[in-house]
A and B are shown apart, each in its own frame.
Chain A
Amino acid sequence: MSAILEIQDVDKHFDISGSILDQIRFTGGKISRKKTVVKAVNNVTLDVQPGETLSIVGESGCGKSTLARTVMGLYQPNKGKIIYRGDRIDNLSSVKMLPYRTKMQMVFQDPYASLNPRMTVRQILEEPVKFHNPGLSRVEVRDKVAEVMLQVGVDPVWATNYPHEFSGGQRQRISIARALVVDPEFIAADEPIAALDVSIQAQILNLLMDAQEKRGLTYLFISHDLSVVEHISNRVAVMYLGCVCELATAKELFTSPRHPYTQALLSAIPKLGGNPGGHVKLSGDVPTPINLPTGCVFNGRCPHANERCTQEIPAQRTLESGTIVACHGVEEGRI
């Protein structure tokens, strides 16, 4: 099976040095110019197979949202390629990108911020249909919207209401409807349930899974909630400081995590009725993505780090189980 989406060696860096005046430093009697760059995503290679859910997990600031936005063409990668069904799409002009926009859609985290408060639900949902299918009649557009609203569980009689008249869960249904209304094949969902209550989270997750089954969708699912990820994904990529440190099937990752960071992350999940303590404690804090550590990005907090980890960047290696892991310790058999 060929991948629906390939991410090849992608880097995304943000220049935050500001204007020329902000960049000028006066040190040791010399004027120098210094650039400050946030290295949000570094050398990420991933492929997404048709019909699967690939999740990206990691703590805040690890670059998971940036990666999703780069995939969607909202950011230009500084290096590397994004390939969709064999076509390179990261360097296309916005006009050439149009056909891909109907195939690739995005659902955002906060349904309070991602729906325009001055548009009715009908306007929000009709806009993409009209834009991408200029040939459709008004009745056809309306029917299309009503059909999708029913699918996501929002009664079409509410179409004339504004977003603020809906609850958070209903709003998230509307933003999912907005993504589905152009019949996409691929949806990048960036923390779609993080802003919702537990009982509502289950409703939205079920909706996403139903839509996937009915329409054969492929998901790139971004989340920090590991128990949700375990439930919904086929494969999981763990990111730390802009790098993918482990990629495995959900089952493999949650039963036998290999990378020390994955192990720490999994042990930190609070368990229902579980015992406190017993968490793998990580020392120190996540370093800033401005000054990446040399060698393995995790070396400062890793309990197994040695001399080699501080100097050499670990390459991704495929293990017998199919897990891909970037760790010197695993390669040497120490972990």
Chain B
Amino acid sequence: METLIDIKNLRVDFELRSGTVRAVRDVSLTINKGERLGIVGESGAGKSVLGFSLINLISKPGKITNGEIIFQGNDISKYSYEQMRKIRGNRISMIFQDPMMTLNPVLTIGTQMMETVLAHMDVSKKEAEEICLDKLRKVYIPSPEKRLAQYPHEFSGGMRQRIVIAISLLTSPNLIIADEPTTALDVTIQAEIMDLLLELCETENMGLILITHDLAVVSEVTQRIAVLYAGKVVELGTAEQIINNPQHPYTQGLIKALPQMAGGAKRLNQIPGMMPSLRDMPTGCPFEPRCAAKLERCKHEIPTLKELESGTQVACYQRNGGDK
């Protein structure tokens, strides 16, 4: 299978006066062409920073301090601002959480869509408009000709997010990064948007990185899932393996904490404590303070991802025999 993007040992740090915040710590991930990968984690796990860093949207004082992002044969993490503009919104698009914040309230949908097309493609205005209409039809916006002249406030939340998706599709990108695309929306709208994203990825053969805190959503949409905890990938495997046969104690705890998994028991399984601050990490495994299955060495050494027989990769001494 052809590799679409290859992230190697990526590290993102925020240098603050009060200390360095290590938001992403040595993350390595590979996504193949047309593949859908889910990144799951709680707030503060570094999942959004990871998504942003892929298209160099990290703002100061954040910086990629180590690692490579190989996209179509080039390391785009070293690209200049000008070079990056040709990739961002063109080959790699991003969908953000809140469609009301992403769309400019004082410009019509048409203006905002045309802007993207004209910036990245060498087409006439007439052709650009055709592309916009075509993409709006793809996301099932009724009577798109009329809609182009309207402003964001004239649309409902679900419609706005569909327009944002249409904008991300304009340049037929190879990869879409969706950062919590449905968190601001109701469940019925969420189901609609997820179905749409899935359908588009399949018909256009696009890669998708879906960043969310909702395990159930990723398990429905993506093929592989990476579980992020305190800036590190602690488990990586197929969606089916992660959900049915989780290996890392954190993943297990997370799944058991869902009311759907309580299976009649009244009390929910809870993970004690909370995620450590990214500024003040434990020296060993980041999950060690909350872990019920910890070993002595978990306190001092940081486990790395190791592949198990099932194909799942897990960073835990308890699970992968312990040898480095």
Footprint of B on A, CB under 8 Å?
59-60, 167, 169, 197-203, 205-206, 209, 224, 226-228, 230-232, 264-265, 267-277, 279, 281-282, 285-286
Contact = CB atoms under 8 A, between A and B. Distances in A.
B274 interface: yes
Contacts of A227: 216, 258-260
Interface string B121-159: 000000000000000000000000000000000001011
Contacts, number: 111
Interface stretch (B13-21, B25-33, B86-94, B182-190): B182-190
A198 B258 contact: yes
B156 A285 contact: yes
B84 interface: no
Interface string B186-223: 11101110110010000000000000011111011100
A202 B258 CA distance: 7
B80 interface: no
B282 interface: no
A276 B38 CA distance: 14
A276 B220 contact: yes
B199 to A, nearest CB: 9
B284 interface: no
Given A198-B213, A230-B259, A270 B253 contact: no
13 contacts: A59-B186, A198-B258, A205-B259, A227-B216, A227-B260, A228-B259, A270-B190, A272-B219, A276-B198, A277-B198, A279-B191, A281-B192, A281-B195
Given A167-B274, A227-B260, A228-B259, A198 B42 contact: yes
Contacts of A203: 270, 272
B42 A206 contact: no
Interface string B205-245: 00000000111110111000000000000000001100110
B292 interface: no
Contact of A199 (B217, B221, B254): B254
Interface of B: 42-43, 156, 158-159, 186-188, 190-192, 194-195, 198, 213-217, 219-221, 239-240, 243-244, 253-255, 257-262, 266-272, 274
A268 B191 contact: yes
B257 A198 contact: yes
Nearest to A286: B156
- 10 closest A-B pairs by CB: A231-B259, A270-B216, A202-B257, A268-B191, A59-B186, A197-B42, A202-B268, A279-B191, A199-B271, A273-B243
Contacts of B220: 270-271, 274-276
A201 B257 contact: yes
Contact of A273 (B195, B244, B257): B244
Contacts of A267: 191
A269 B187 contact: yes
Nearest to A201: B257
Nearest to B259: A231
A274 B254 contact: no
Nearest to B222: A276
Contact of B274 (A200, A226, A286): A200
A231 B253 contact: no
Contact of B213 (A197, A202, A224, A232): A197
Given A224-B186, A279-B195, A272 B215 contact: yes
The CB with the most chain B CB atoms within 10 A, among A198, A269, A281, is that of A198
A251 to B, nearest CB: 11
Nearest to A281: B192
A3 B240 CA distance: 46
Contacts of A265: 187-188
Contacts of A199: 42, 253-254, 257, 270-271, 274
B251 to A, nearest CB: 11
A272 B198 contact: no
A273 B258 contact: no
Given A226-B187, A228-B259, A282-B188, 12 more contacts: A199-B254, A202-B270, A202-B271, A203-B270, A206-B268, A224-B187, A227-B258, A227-B259, A268-B187, A270-B216, A277-B195, A281-B192
A59 B195 contact: no
B266 A209 contact: yes
Given A198-B215, A231-B262, A277-B195, A209 B188 contact: no
Contacts of A209: 266-267
Contacts of B243: 272-273
A232 B255 CA distance: 18
Nearest to B267: A206
Contacts of B266: 209
A14 B192 CA distance: 31
A294 B267 CA distance: 44
Contacts of A264: 188
B319 to A, nearest CB: 19
Contacts of A275: 220
